[in-house]
Structures are given as C-alpha cells and as structure tokens.
C-alpha cells in the first residue's frame, strides 16, 4: 500500500480539502472510520458541489447477526451499485465493513429491477411474487419501507428508494393506476406513469430457491417454518456460488482514506469479524464466501496509492498549516449567553475581513436560539444547501452534525460546530409518530376477555357472519359461563370493551342466567359516585389553597435549559410551560406528569426544582424505591453540576450517622434538594423552607405513607410523576379537577431492539453468554411462579459462572427491592422475574430480555416488555422463547413469522398500548377501587366515574341510544376487507359518525378497498342515521323494504308543522301512530329516513 498522507486537517477541513483536490471526471472510493460515517457524509454533501456523491453504508448490525438489513441501508447500497454500472464519474463514500462484504453478482442485481408501467401488462399476483422475491415483507398494513400488503385488485408497497409508499391498482392483468400516497391520511399524492422497483434485500432469490439451498444445513428447519427469516442474506453465497466485490463495480478509481491510520482500521474490523464468526459458529466456507479475507484485501491494496487525510501531524506527511482549529478563535465558556455573544463577535470580525462564517448544528433548539440572538443584533441568518451558496454577509447555518470546525484564512472560510461554541453537543431528536395510549376493540383476538355493558365479562370468540331473526350481518360472538354464546350485532360494538383488570387477579366469567352482573354494576356505580365526590372535594380544596408565587429568575433556569443535551419534545415543552405557569401563579400547584419510562418526565421535574431553588426554597423528591432514589440523585447531581445548589439523598444505602447529618442540614437549609424514599416522611424530618414536593410513582406508596404525603402537601407546590398511562376518558373527566400533562412522544430514536424467536435451551444459553460477554445483564421473564425457582436453578446449572437471582410480585417487598438494588449495581447477571420489571425500572446495562412462553403474551405486552431493553446506546436484544411453533393459532404463526423476518417487533402491526394492562389498573385510583375494577373491568369503571363527575357538576347529557332493526343488510363483506382485524377496526371506527366523518370514511374506504358494495354503503348510512337520531330522542328505528319507522320517547313530541313541511317537500307518505311513532313509506327508506332526521335536527 503506497500511502500519501495530508495531515493537520482539523475536523471538517478533511472533507473540504478533498472537495478541492477531487477531479470531476474521475471515480473515487472514499473510506472512513466507522464511527465518523454519518458526520463525514454530512460534510461531503455540503462541500462536494461538482461530483456525484454515492453513499455505500455498511449494515447496521454485526457481521453474521440474525438481523434484517435496514431497508434504508439497502436502498442506498443498491442505488449506488446501479449508478456505478453506468460507468459515470462518482465519489463512493463507505467504510471497511462495506468494502470487505461481498455482494450479489452484477447480473443478479440488473435482472432484479422490476419495471412497472401504467396500462402495462402485469397482473397482481405477478407483482406480489416480485415483491417477495425482492425481499419485501408481507404485512397487514404498510407502515415502513420494505413492506407490502394487498387486498382485492390493490397492492400497496413502500419502495426502499422512494420517500412515499406506492399503490398499484389492477384491472384484470393490466396496471390501471400507480400513485404515491400519504401514510397518515391515506390520500393519493402523485400520479406516476412508471416506477423502477429495486431490491429491499441483498438476498435476491425466491423462497423455493432459498429452501433448496439450505437443505441439510443447520438452518433448514428455520427456513421451513419462517421462510426468508431475518439474516437470510448471510446464506446468499449458497445460491449465487460466485459473489462479487465492490471493486468489481468500480473499475478505474482512486482511494481516499479519511481518518487516523487505515491499517489500524482494517485490523480492528477483521478482529471484530473473526469474533462474530466464532460467536455465531459460522463455517469457514460461508465466512470466506461473505467477506474478502484480510490478506486478500492487503494484497489488493499492496500496489495502490491511498491518499490519507488526517488531523494528527505525523512524520513524512504533507502538512497543511493554512487549516487551523477553531479552538483558537473561541474563548472557553459554559454560559450560553456568553457563548452566543462570542459567536456574534467572531462573525462581525469575519464579515469585516470578508470571511464567510458557517455554524453547524443538527439541533433545532440551537438553531432557533442562534437565529433569535443574531436577529437582535440585526444580523441575517441563511440556510445554504451547499458550500457554493454560502454568504459572507449573513450567518450561514448548516442543520447537520459535522466532525469539527476549522478556519482557513486563505479561502476566507470559518466553520463552527455547536460543541465548540456551547461546550457540548445537543442531540436533535428524530421526529417519530406518536403512539397514543389507548385500548382498542379492533385489537381483540379470539380468547381475549371482554366486557359487555349489559351482560358482563365473557370471552371473545371472533367475528361470525350469520342471519339472526331474518337479519344478515356480522356478529361478535362472546362466550359466557357454562359455554353459552351471545351474538352482538356490530352497530352495538360500543357496548363491548376489552377487559382490563388487575394483573394478578383471576378473571371470573359472568352468566347469562342470573343477576350477579347487575348487582356488581350497581355496587361499582355507588363506588364511582363516591370517587367522583372525593375528586370534586379535592378540586374545591385545591382551588381555595394559596401557595407561593415563584418569580421569573432567568439566569439559573437559562443554564439548566441550555445544558440539556437533547432537543425537548413538543410534549415536554408543553409540560414544562404548564409547570412554570402553575409555579408562578398564586394557587398551589398540584400537577401530574404522565409518560412512559424514558419519555422525559424527570427533565420537567428538574426545571421545576431549579425554579424553586432559584427562589430560595427547598425541594423534596420522594421515590418509592431505593433504585429510583439512586437514579434521580445521579441525574440531578449531573444536571445541577454548574449551579450553586446542594443536593443530597437519604436511603438505606447510607449509615444512620450519615442520614442524621443529612437531615440536620435539611432542617438548617444547608441542603436545597433532598431525594429519598418514604424515609423523608418520618417524624424526625423537618424542612427549613420547603417550596416544592416532587413525587415519583405516587400510586406505589402505601396508604399510611399517602396520608403523610397529604399532610406534607398542605400549602406547597406538588408535582407528581407517573409512568402509568392515563386513558383519554379519564384525562377528560379529570380536566380541571387535577392538572395533568401528558408526555406521549417517544424518546430519541436509538438502535432498534432486535427481536428473534428461539425454541431450545441451547439458544437461551447462547443469548445469555452473548450479553454477558459484552459486559451486560439479562432479564429472563418467566411468569409461572410455581416453577420460577426451578427455572433459576436450571439457568445457574447451565451457566455456573453467572450470578442468578429471582424477583416476582409474591415475594416479600423488601427482598424484591434488595434484589433489584443488587441488579442495578451489576452484582447480578441474570434476573429471573415475572412482569414485575414493567414497573418503571430503567437499568441501562440490561440489554437482553428473554421472554419464556412468549406465545402466551399479547402483542402489545411483548412490545412493552421489549421496551425494557435497548435504552442506552447499546444494541438491545429481545428473544421470544416458544417451544412448539406448530401448536400455535394461524394468526399467531403469521405474526411470529413477520417478527422473525423483520427481527423487529411492532412493524407492520397497529400496536395499542393497553392502559395499565400489566401494571394493574387499581394503581391510578387507589387500592380500594381495585375490587370494582376486577369485577366489572377498568374501562367501564372509568366511564362510571366520568358520568358521575358530569352529573355532580350538572353537565350530564341525556342522550338516548337509538336501537336499530333492519331487514336491509348492512355489514362489511369478507371479500371486500379480507382481514378480520381490519373489519373489526372499521366497525369500531363507525360507532358514532357525523356528516363530515361519513364523507371522510366513504372516501377512505373507496381509496383503500375500491367502490363500497351496497351492504357497506348501507352500514355507513345506518350508523350515521343512528348517530343523529340519538340526539333528538328517537328510541328505535325499524327499517324495512319500502318503509321506515321511528319510535320516539313518550315525552318527546314531534313538531307537526315541521313534519308536514318535510312530507310536502319530499312528497312522502306516512302516518303517526298511537305508540308515539312515525311510519314513512318510501322506495329508498334509508336515504329518506336520513333526510327526515337531518331536517328535525336543524
């Protein structure tokens, strides 16, 4: 290897230097250190204005890891390979991993491109075959690149080389339409004449080829069960025989290396590669077939010139003194105001000397703060697309992260990075879709428990199409005690709720033959009324209670705000504003912040604590466990490190002497923020001047502790935090009674947690060893408490060197806490536990979870449990241990197949985050309500509280639910919407609709499934008619072939003049009956019925 090194190139000046020496007519292979890839790509995109930049990233997963290649990565790799085949100049940007990995043959890639054209001859099944062949995964609903779904004559797919998903509509064997559509609105965006579909994998072959190639290998069974499972691309050499190298696509090219020492980088990668091959027990032949061997790579490079661009000046390198580090320009400071003032001065000086200034930050917050600050000095801010557009008169902001700033006086250019200005990097958060906390009847699967408000708790047995009483339609089948079945028509779907009780209480079915359900409901209603009275009493007390008005302090809050290393999410900003407004008002604050672990509740508490301390008052933070105390203390200590406030904690980790000394300082006012467990509620604790009480997971404190908290709350501001999601219904009923801020935006996107299915103890052993080898810890979830000790013993026997412990809800609470403390401190390697780990525990070093008997959990439960790992910047692994795949239901098999193909839980499914499903619903309202929640279900109980609050406030609405009887069929045919879960979703959406929703749903149904058949149109019209009839007191509507009958409540009299007017206008015939009903004769009874009721509603 002939090295030509240019040194002394600081930060982004390496990319800038390359842009100056590059020849626009040549090809370049630019290789970098793996960890610099994203930032260098941003820099090269900015500086290379004349050359085509072609990113060629490596896989995000380890070599030979059973993971799917991220579709976005495949899209970039295949696009670059196709561009290279045209022979034109290019700059291919990559790393050693991507250079070493062998590729499918050129002819395979070229022949795999699928060209679809409007009006072209192509049938639906042919397109489905191609999508499967190209590595797209069949899902229920398309949500991400690399997925496809189909229904009727429509195929949806999300190309890896397009920003939007595509829909293809067929007419027989011809493509009628191709268009892009919006995922959120499901509306068409752009019509397309044609489209080139590129592979979504580098394992480009059909399933039969794959199965044939892996016959008589260790993965034969896996291929039979799961098809092209995640990681199948590692076995591509068994099909292709001859793999290509990236060099084969490049032909004549120059090599550039950006970093410090190419040999070190090559040696580091091949060491990692050997470790991975050993860990995954990859045969020598397959190892060599997938990667260029190290010696072969060195051999290939031996007579090639490699231009190295480095920061460190080394002997024999060509030095570049015109490039200087920006550290010489910027005075060090941790004060953000001073930092911005320094940047203004630098800019002004640069402008006077004709030097352009570029500021690089990916943080929207930093961008906005900088823009506002510069505008105060009447300096314009500009966002150039690339280097050729920069301005010397304005501050140029480049909204992406770079490796570092530099100064080149000769070229009149200064590039500044946020870390150099502010002293730290603020990480921008990825925009993610909000997952709203909800329960959803459409997520039901046969076997789930449900509650019918009139008949009680039963088991959902599925959707059945039947004719009952001469009425054809879809019915929900519910099994009750003794095997009795109840069939519920779909317009009454709102009478059914998913049963959510207390996690540890056995479910008892109700009977259709006795009045037990009626009695349970009456008892629950009395209880709900009592809860409502207590809530309103609390509300009245809170309104009368005056607190301290904290003043706007400015400086300390600014330091805390500016030192937060993430961009706040929208929900966080709203919660912080709510809290600050509460604290500045004269009323005592009583606010609850809700959001899952890691969603940013603690940062809201930190802002509140800072405001309190800045006003000279003390803060007490109460947490239910020593782990949480420890976590909070470490977080507060780090966040307040630049402020003059003293922070301490009390817990059983400290000696009695230490605790007494700490409490003495609290009483004297020497400590500003004290963090502790219920020890802070002891009689010997007194405060000098307590201004704010922060309570974490209040519902987890016992009754006696809650009473003491109540006394402590008397005239101070209170901020409670809960990881328990609060359903919309309760949010609504508590509005104005208790102030609630909801944080629903997920935390910063990290490496996706890989999900794999395992079926034997050997795989369990490998999974645990893999985690322990990298210094991590493991959750082993085992919910059969009668055998949990036996399971822990078997894991200990399997891995004698590992520390194994047990934790579950039926153990002594103190023992559980000690075990969890030891686990948090890293003294335990494997924790065999029940779903107790759902309880808001956040241990960053635990990055593997094994869920034994995963087939017994719902998809949403698995999704939540998976979220316990992968919280740090280390890859998380979730293993679903299922011993016998063949005994599972068809739906379960299908879902597990998709999970195994995607190595990702949650993609392709609508995942509902069920309220309190695992944590136990009683927590939110107190233990005394738990019995009612278990006996009638959570949602119904919350609904009762909601109704009671409205009634006591005089806001209750007396809306009659109109009963429908119809001989005209109204349902969703199975050949119109194939998936039962999708039909259920639509029935659920159509429970109560107005005119606007009627039109919206009609448009959506037509767009997704084609023109609705008559039963679907009848369904929309019937539900709309029922919705508007309820508002005007129509008790029952009977729809027959040529007539419609409205039966009214006895006290509801029709306006006769109005009726005569409408009959005259529509030329209708009808009559009034003695039973307070109206009969109308019509050729279109449904349509005319709607017109009549709409007229009466006016």
In a shared domain, residues 643 and 779: no
Task: Compute the CA torsion angle 226, 227, 229, 234 (nearest 10 deg).
Answer: 140
In a shared domain, residues 596 and 704: yes
Task: Name which residue leads in pLDDT, 814 or 290.
Answer: 290
**Residue 523 covered by a domain:** no
User: How far is 721 from 632, CA to CA, in rounded Å?
Assistant: 12
Query: Which residues, listed in sequence order, are joined to residue 356 by a DSSP beta bridge?
Result: 413
Region 518-529 average pLDDT: 90
For residue 837, which of 810, 866, 868 has the smallest C-alpha distance?
Answer: 868
| pLDDT score for 501 | 67
pLDDT digits (tens, 9 = 90+) for 233-285: 999 999 998 999 999 999 889 999 998 889 999 999 999 999 999 988 899 99
For residue 847, which of 880, 820, 871, 876 has the smallest C-alpha distance?
Answer: 876
Task: Name which residue leads in pLDDT, 291 or 462.
Answer: 291
The CATH number that applies at residue 67 is 3.40.50.11180
In a shared domain, residues 327 and 313: no
In this model, does residue 430 exceed pLDDT 50? no
For the chain, what's the residue count?
1098
In this model, does residue 1092 exceed pLDDT 50? yes
**Range(s) of the domain holding residue 887:** 754-902
Burial of 733 (0-12, 13-18, 19+ CB in 10 A): buried
For residue 623, which of 723, 691, 711 has the smallest C-alpha distance?
Answer: 723
| pLDDT score for 746 | 62
**What per-residue string of b and e applies to 523-536 under the rule 16 or more CB within 10 Å gives b?**
ebbebbbebbeebe
Strands 1077-1081 and 147-151: unpaired
Spell out the residues 6+ positions from residue 365 whose beta carbon is closer than 8 angstroms to its own.
426, 567, 568
| pLDDT score for 713 | 67
**Residue 949 covered by a domain:** no
In this model, does residue 967 exceed pLDDT 70? yes
User: SS3 for 574-596, per residue?
Assistant: HHHHHHHHHHHCCECCEEEEECC
Task: Return the percentage of the chain with pLDDT > 70, whole number.
Answer: 88
pLDDT digits (tens, 9 = 90+) for 54-103: 999 999 888 998 888 888 999 999 999 999 998 888 999 999 999 999 99
In a shared domain, residues 770 and 799: yes
In a shared domain, residues 837 and 717: no
- Record the pTM: 0.75
User: In whole numbers, what is the pLDDT of the chain averaged over residues?
Assistant: 85
pLDDT digits (tens, 9 = 90+) for 975-1021: 888 878 788 888 888 877 888 899 988 988 888 788 899 999 999 99
Per-residue pLDDT band at 357 (split at 50, 70, 90): very high
In a shared domain, residues 546 and 687: yes
In a shared domain, residues 558 and 645: yes
Domain-ending residue, one of 296, 319, 342: 319
| pLDDT score for 918 | 31
Per-residue pLDDT band at 438 (split at 50, 70, 90): very low
In this model, does residue 503 exceed pLDDT 70? no
The CATH number that applies at residue 893 is 3.40.50.300
User: How far is 1078 from 1096, CA to CA, in rounded Å?
Assistant: 13
In this model, does residue 966 exceed pLDDT 60? yes
User: How far is 114 from 71, CA to CA, in rounded Å?
Assistant: 17
Region 517-536 average pLDDT: 86
**Residue 952 covered by a domain:** no
| pLDDT score for 1016 | 94
* CA-angle at 623, arms to 588 and 593, nearest 5°: 50
In a shared domain, residues 780 and 726: no
Per-residue pLDDT band at 919 (split at 50, 70, 90): very low
In a shared domain, residues 347 and 314: no
In a shared domain, residues 155 and 297: no
pLDDT digits (tens, 9 = 90+) for 1033-1061: 888 889 888 889 888 877 766 666 777 77
Domain-ending residue, one of 139, 174, 197: 197
**Residue 378 covered by a domain:** yes
Spell out the residues 6+ positions from residue 164 whose beta carbon is closer than 8 angstroms to its own.
180, 181, 182, 183, 189, 190
Structural domain count, the chain: 6
**Residue 450 covered by a domain:** no
| pLDDT score for 393 | 94
Domain-ending residue, one of 837, 870, 902: 902
In this model, does residue 691 exceed pLDDT 90? yes
In a shared domain, residues 1007 and 1061: yes
In this model, does residue 860 exceed pLDDT 90? no
**Residue 1088 covered by a domain:** yes
Task: Name which residue leads in pLDDT, 50 or 333.
Answer: 50
**Residue 933 covered by a domain:** no
**Residue 496 covered by a domain:** no
In a shared domain, residues 74 and 123: no
C-alpha 553: how far from its chain's center?
36
Per-residue pLDDT band at 424 (split at 50, 70, 90): low
């Amino acid at each position: 290897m002939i090295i030509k090194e240019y040194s002394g190139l600081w930060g982004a000046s390496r990319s800038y230097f390359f842009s100056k020496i590059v020849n626009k007519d040549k090809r370049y292979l630019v290789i970098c250190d793996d960890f610099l890839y994203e930032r260098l790509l941003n820099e090269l995109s900015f500086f290379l204005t004349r050359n085509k930049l072609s990113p060629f990233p490596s896989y995000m997963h380890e070599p030979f890891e059973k993971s799917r290649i991220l579709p976005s990565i495949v899209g970039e790799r295949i696009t670059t390979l196709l561009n290279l085949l045209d022979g034109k100049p290019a700059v291919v940007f990559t790393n050693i991993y991507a250079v070493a990995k062998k590729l499918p043959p050129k002819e395979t890639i070229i022949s795999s491109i699928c060209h679809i054209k409007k009006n072209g001859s192509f049938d639906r099944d042919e397109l489905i075959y191609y999508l499967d062949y190209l590595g797209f995964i069949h899902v229920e609903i398309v949500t991400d690149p690399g997925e496809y779904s189909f229904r009727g004559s429509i195929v949806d797919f999300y190309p890896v080389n397009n920003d939007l998903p595509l829909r293809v509509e067929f007419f027989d064997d011809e493509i009628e339409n191709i268009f892009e559509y919006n995922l959120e609105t499901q509306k068409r965006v752009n019509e397309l004449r044609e489209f080139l579909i590129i592979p979504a994998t580098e394992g480009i072959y059909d399933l039969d080829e794959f199965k044939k190639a892996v016959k008589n290998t260790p993965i034969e069974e896996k291929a039979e069960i799961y098809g092209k499972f995640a990681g199948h691309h590692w076995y591509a050499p068994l099909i292709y025989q001859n793999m290509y190298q990236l060099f084969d696509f490049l032909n004549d090219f120059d090599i550039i290396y950006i970093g410090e020492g190419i040999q070190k980088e090559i040696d580091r990668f091949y060491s990692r590669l050997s470790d991975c091959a050993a860990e995954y027990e990859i045969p020598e032949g397959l190892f060599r077939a997938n990667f260029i061997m190290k010696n072969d790579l060195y051999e290939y490079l031996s007579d090639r010139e490699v231009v190295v661009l480095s920061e460190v000046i080394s002997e024999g390198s060509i030095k570049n003194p015109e490039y200087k580090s920006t550290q010489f320009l910027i005075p060090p400071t941790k004060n953000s105001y001073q930092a911005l003032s320094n940047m203004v001065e630098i800019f002004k000086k640069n402008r006077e000397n004709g030097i352009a200034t570029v500021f690089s930050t990916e943080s929207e917050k930093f961008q906005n703060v900088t823009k506002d600050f510069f505008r105060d000095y009447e300096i314009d801010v500009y966002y150039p697309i690339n280097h050729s557009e920069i301005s010397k008169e304005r501050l140029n902001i480049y909204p992406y992260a770079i490796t570092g700033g530099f100064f080149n006086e000769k070229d009149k250019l200064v590039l500044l990075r946020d870390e150099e200005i502010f002293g730290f990097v603020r990480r921008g958060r990825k925009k993610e879709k909000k997952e709203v906390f909800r329960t959803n009847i459409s997520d039901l699967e046969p076997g789930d428990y449900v509650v019918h408000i009139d008949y009680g708790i039963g088991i959902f047995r599925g959707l059945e199409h039947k004719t009952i009483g001469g009425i054809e339609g879809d019915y929900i089948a519910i099994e009750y005690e003794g095997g009795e079945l109840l069939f519920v028509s779909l317009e009454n779907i709102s009478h059914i709720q998913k049963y959510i009780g207390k996690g540890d209480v056995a479910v008892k079915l109700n009977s259709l033959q006795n009045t037990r359900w009626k009695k349970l409901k009456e008892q629950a209603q009395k209880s709900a009324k009592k809860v409502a009275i207590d809530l309103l009493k609390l509300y009245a007390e809170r309104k009368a209670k005056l607190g301290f008005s904290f003043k706007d302090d400015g400086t300390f809050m600014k330091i805390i705000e500016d030192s937060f290393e993430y961009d706040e999410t929208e929900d966080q900003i709203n919660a912080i504003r709510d809290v600050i407004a509460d604290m500045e008002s004269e009323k005592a604050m009583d606010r609850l912040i809700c959001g899952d672990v890691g969603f940013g509740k603690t940062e809201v508490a930190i802002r509140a604590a800072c405001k309190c301390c800045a006003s000279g008052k003390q803060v007490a933070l109460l947490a239910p466990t020593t782990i949480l105390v420890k976590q909070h203390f470490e977080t507060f200590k780090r966040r307040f490190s630049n402020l003059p406030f003293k922070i301490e904690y009390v817990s059983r980790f400290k000696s009695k002497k230490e605790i007494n000394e700490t409490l003495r300082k609290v009483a004297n006012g020497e400590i500003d923020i004290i963090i502790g467990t219920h020890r802070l509620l002891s009689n010997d604790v007194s405060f000098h001047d307590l201004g704010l009480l922060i309570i974490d997971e209040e519902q987890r404190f016992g009754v006696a502790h809650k009473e003491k908290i109540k006394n402590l709350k008397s005239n101070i501001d209170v901020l409670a935090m809960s990881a328990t999601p609060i359903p919309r219904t309760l949010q609504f009923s508590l509005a104005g009674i208790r102030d609630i801020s909801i944080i629903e935006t997920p935390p910063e996107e990290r490496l996706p947690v890989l999900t794999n299915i395992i079926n034997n103890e050997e795989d369990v052993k490998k999974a645990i060893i893999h985690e322990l080898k990298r210094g991590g810890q493991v959750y082993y979830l085992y919910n059969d408490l009668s055998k949990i000790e036996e399971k822990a013993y078997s894991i200990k026997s399997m891995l004698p060197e590992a520390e194994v412990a047990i934790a579950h809800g039926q153990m002594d609470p103190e023992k559980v806490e000690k075990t969890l403390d030891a686990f948090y401190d890293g003294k335990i390697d494997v924790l065999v536990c029940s779903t107790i780990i759902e309880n808001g525990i956040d241990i960053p070093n635990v990055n593997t979870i094994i869920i034994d008997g995963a087939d017994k959990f719902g998809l949403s439960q698995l999704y939540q449990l998976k979220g316990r790992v992968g919280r740090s910047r280390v890859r998380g692994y979730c293993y679903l241990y299922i011993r016998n795949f063949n005994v599972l239901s068809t739906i379960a098999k299908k879902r597990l197949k998709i999970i195994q193909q995607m190595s990702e839980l949650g993609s392709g499914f609508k995942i509902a985050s069920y309220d309190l499903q695992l944590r136990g619903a009683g927590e939110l309202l107190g233990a005394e309500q738990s019995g009612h929640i278990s006996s009638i279900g959570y949602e119904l109980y919350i609904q009762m509280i909601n109704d009671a609050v409205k009634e006591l406030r005089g806001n209750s609405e007396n809306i009659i639910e109109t009963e429908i009887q119809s001989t005209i069929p109204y349902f969703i045919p199975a050949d119109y919407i194939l998936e039962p879960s999708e039909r259920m979703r639509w029935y659920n959406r159509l429970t109560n609709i107005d005119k606007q929703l009627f039109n919206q749903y009609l448009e959506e149904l037509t767009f997704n499934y084609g023109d609705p058949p008559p039963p679907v149109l009848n369904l929309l019209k019937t539900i709309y008619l029922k919705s508007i009839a309820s508002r005007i007191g129509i008790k029952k509507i009977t729809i027959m072939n040529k007539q419609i009958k409205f039966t009214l409540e006895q006290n509801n009299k029709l306006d006769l003049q109005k009726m005569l007017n409408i009959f005259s206008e529509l030329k209708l015939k009808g009559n009034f009956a003695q039973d307070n009903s109206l009969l109308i004769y019509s050729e279109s009874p449904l349509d005319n019925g709607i017109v009549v009721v709409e007229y009466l509603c006016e």
